[in-house]
Amino acid sequence: MTTAQIISGKQVSDEIRQNLKTEVEALAAKGCVPGLAVVLVGEDPASQVYVRNKAKACEDLGYHSEVHRLESDTSEEDLLALVHKLNAQENINGILVQLPLPKHIEEKAVINAISPEKDVDGFHPINVGNLMIGDDSLLPCTPAGVIELIKHTGIEMSGKHAVVIGRSNIVGKPVSLLLQRENATVTMCHSRTANMKELTRQADILVVAVGRANFVDASYIKPGAVVIDVGINRLETGKLAGDVDFESASSVSGPITPVPGGVGPMTITMLMKNTLLAAKRAHG
Ligand code: GUN
């Protein structure tokens, strides 16, 4: 039986979007409309859903949005030419190239080509470096969303032991830096970690981003710990599952995120926040 508090990413996300809307209206009165360009190469079904959701979020908030859909055999050169064009386009403040890209295109070259001021994913090395040294940068969306969700529980991060499972560039590494920034003591676990449960059982805050369905169960969790599940795994049945076995974990955890409806909605909301920030910076 679940007695744990369920952290609703949908609810937190709606609250933040409401605040963004107020800011966008004030900005529009000064003649500035935030603009986001989303580039999708090929027909990956999950990517198509994400891209649609991003365009819809722009529409709901009154942003200008452009979706550029390119054939899966588009050359790297043509994609780079589009990125350069968007870099120079004044009505575009944010550029997002949906990943993964087809194998013949080097992701790094594309990410590096995006102007750091318009890099609303926070993936450009300049923004990654700024995050590392604690300078003000466009923060990667999912990690920023994770921090917002923890803040929303009202549980103080300072002085707590946070354990992150996963060390990807998109989630594990940046989220561990952001947790440190909040003055948590951070341990990172990954596929080669020995005695992982010994470490995770010490966690006051556990962030799971491994990309394996139901990887974490109650045996990994200290009673009452905050559990944030970043995983979105499609099961053979077609159902979505997180990296955390919710049923089991929530029998011992404190506040815990569901999948879907946890971290997912926050990622797009943080993208909208970054686009607004980039627009405000562009308009001085
Ligand atoms: N594909 C899956 N997640 C992401 C993301 O956060 N940004 C981009 N650009 N592509 C993704």
Distance 63 CA to ligand 1 centre (A): 20
pLDDT, position 2: 67
Q: Where are the alpha helices (DSSP H) in 114-218?
A: 125-132, 141-152, 172-181, 196-200
What ipTM was estimated for this complex? Answer: 0.94
Domain count, the chain: 2
121 lines ligand 1 (CB under 6 A): yes
- Does the beta carbon of 79 sit less than 6 angstroms from any atom of ligand 1? no
pLDDT tens digits, residue range 138-173? 999 999 999 999 999 999 999 999 999 999 999 999
Q: Is 190 in the same domain as 78?
A: no
Residue 63 sits in a domain whose CATH number is 3.40.50.10860
21 Cβ contact list (under 8 Å, min separation 6): 61, 62
Sign, CA torsion 133/136/142/145: positive
Consult the annotation and say whether 111 binds a ligand.
Answer: no
- Catalytic residue annotation: 54, 98, 121
Q: Is residue 164 part of a domain?
A: yes
Q: Two tokens at 151? A: 């803040």
Are both 103 and 167 inside the same structural domain?
no
Q: What is the largest CA-CA distance in the chain?
A: 57
Evaluate whether residue 161 is within a structural domain.
Answer: yes
Q: How confident is the model at residue 3 (pLDDT cuts 50, 70, 90)?
A: confident
274 lines ligand 1 (CB under 6 A): no
Boundaries of domain holding 157: 140-264
Of 45, 140, 252, the closest CA to residue 244 belongs to: 252
What are the tens digits of pLDDT across the range 24-56? 999 999 999 999 999 999 999 999 999 999 999
* 224 and 149 in a common domain: yes
232 marked among binding-site residues: yes
**Is position 82 within any domain?**
yes
In this structure, the answer to whether residues 78 and 147 fall within a common structural domain is no
CA distance 221 to 206: 8
